[in-house]
């Protein structure tokens, strides 16, 4: 039984899967560009040079900021590869929704989880780094926007899961036997 019958409360699941696949592919390309841009920006900030440290506490804070930036760059680097996988799985989702092939939908369901987890980690580290650097408004906005994205991503993931379940249930109740196999079985039928 499918989790839901309509995508976004108005579209058929098949059409919703195609639309979500297109939006996800576009968002993945934008995320790849954003992750690359953020890594370049962080490296530029690291190359600008460090201010003269006046005491132990400022040095410790500077070391923590460097560590947070390093962790953020690692998460962004992993994010690039995850979003490439999400882009490919989005194309498979579009194909699977059009042709009602549930096996093409599975990669999207898997890689979307990686994207959700990666977004949560990135928003936490980038937001906390911004707060430590004295940009608390930017850090708060990053965390809030990340949380909103995660809520929508969960809902859209459930829409695609419902599409997968609907295709699976339809294939169970209406198995499609290829035409050449029906003729072969008819020749050996005892009836």
* In the chain, domain spans: 13-41+62-169
* Inter-CA distances, 154 with 2, 150, 167, 178, Å: 16, 6, 20, 37
Comparing 57-61, 71-75, 175-179, 182-186, which segment has the lowest mean pLDDT? Answer: 182-186
> pLDDT (tens digit, 9 = 90+) per residue, 121-138?
888 877 887 777 777 888
| Prediction pTM value | 0.74
Give the SS3 label for residue 43. Answer: helix
On whether the CB atoms of residues 129 and 65 are closer than 8 A, the answer is yes
Helix residue spans in the chain (DSSP H): 13-47, 56-99, 106-132, 136-173, 179-187
* pLDDT band of 179, cuts 50, 70, 90: very low
Chain-wide mean pLDDT for the chain?
A: 82
Q: How far apart are the first and last CA of the chain?
A: 35
- What is the per-residue pLDDT across 29-76, written as a single tens digit (0 to 9) for each? 999 999 899 888 878 876 666 555 566 666 777 777 778 778 878 888
């Amino acid at each position: 039984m499918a989790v839901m019958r309509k995508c976004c409360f108005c579209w058929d699941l098949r059409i919703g899967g195609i639309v979500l696949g297109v939006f996800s592919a576009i968002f993945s390309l934008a995320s790849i560009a954003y992750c690359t841009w953020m890594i370049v920006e962080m490296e530029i900030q690291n190359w600008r040079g460090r201010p003269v440290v006046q005491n132990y506490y400022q040095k410790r804070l500077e070391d923590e900021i460097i560590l947070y930036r390093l962790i953020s760059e690692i998460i962004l680097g992993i994010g690039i590869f995850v979003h490439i996988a999400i882009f490919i799985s989005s194309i498979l989702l579009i194909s699977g929704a059009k042709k009602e092939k549930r096996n093409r939908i599975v990669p999207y369901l898997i890689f979307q989880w990686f994207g959700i987890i990666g977004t949560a980690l990135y928003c936490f580290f980038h937001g906390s780094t911004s707060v430590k650097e004295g940009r608390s408004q930017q850090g708060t906005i990053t965390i809030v926007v990340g949380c909103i994205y995660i809520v929508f991503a969960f809902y859209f993931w459930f829409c695609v899961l419902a599409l997968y379940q609907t295709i699976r249930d339809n294939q169970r109740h209406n198995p499609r036997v290829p035409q050449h196999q029906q003729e072969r079985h008819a020749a050996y039928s005892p009836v």
